Amino acid sequence: MRFDKIWTVARKDISEFRTNRYIMFSLALMPLIMAIILPVAYLLPITTFMPDSPSTPLDLDLDPTSTIEGEAIINRTVNNTRFVDCELQGVVLNRCVVEASNLTTVAMTSSFMGNSTGEGMVIHHCNLLNNSLSNVAVSDSVRIGEESEEEALLIIFIDALLLFYVLVPAILPTVIASYSFVGEKTNKSLEPLLATPTTDMELLLGKGLSIFVPTMAVTWISLIPFVILVDLIAGPVLGYLPLPNLIWALGVFVLAPLFCLMAIFANVIVSSRVNDVRASQQIGSLIVLPLVVVFIVILLGLVTLNVLNMALFIGVIAFAVIGLLYVASKIFKREEILIRWK
Partner 1 sequence: MIETIDLTRRFGEIVAVDSLNLRIDDGRVFGFLGPNGAGKTTTVRMLCCLINSTSGTAYINGMDTRDEPSRLKIRGMIGLLPETPGLYESLSAYRNLEFYAKLYGVPEGRRHQRIKELLTTLGVWDRREDAVGKFSKGMRQKIAIVRALVHEPEFLFLDEPTSGLDPQAAMTVRNYLLDLKKEGRTIFLNTHNLADAEKLCDTIGVLKSRLLDIGSPEGLARKFYGRTTVIHLTRVTDGMLNAVSSLPAVQEVRVVGNRMLVDMEDPEAGNPGIVSALVSQGAEVEFVNELKHGLEDVYLKLIEGS
Is residue 193 classed exposed, middle or buried when 0-12, 13-18 and 19+ CB atoms within 10 A define those classes?
A: middle
Concatenated DSSP letters for 88-149? EES-EEES-EEES-EEES-EEES-EEES-EEEEEEEES-EEES-EEEEEEEES-EEETS--H
User: At closest approach, how far in Å is the CB of 198 from partner 1?
Assistant: 6
Closer residue to partner 1 (CB): 260 or 337: 337
Give the C-alpha separation, 179 to 238, whole Å: 44
Give the C-alpha separation, 332 to 326, whole Å: 10
User: At closest approach, how far in Å is the CB of 190 from partner 1?
Assistant: 7
Closest by Cα among 54, 52, 56, 47 to 233: 47
Closer residue to partner 1 (CB): 16 or 150: 16
Closer residue to partner 1 (CB): 127 or 272: 272
User: At closest approach, how far in Å is the CB of 189 from partner 1?
Assistant: 4
Closer residue to partner 1 (CB): 9 or 98: 9
Closer residue to partner 1 (CB): 63 or 335: 335
Enumerate the β-bridge partners of residue 117: 102, 132
User: At closest approach, how far in Å is the CB of 336 from partner 1?
Assistant: 10
Give the C-alpha separation, 37 to 25, whole Å: 16
The residue ranges that bind partner 1 (CB under 8 A) are 4-5, 8-9, 12, 15-16, 19-20, 187-199, 334-335, 338-339
Closer residue to partner 1 (CB): 95 or 185: 185
User: At closest approach, how far in Å is the CB of 277 from partner 1?
Assistant: 14
User: At closest approach, how far in Å is the CB of 208 from partner 1?
Assistant: 17
Q: Cβ of 287: how many Cβ atoms within 10 Å?
A: 23
Closest by Cα among 260, 239, 275, 276 to 320: 260
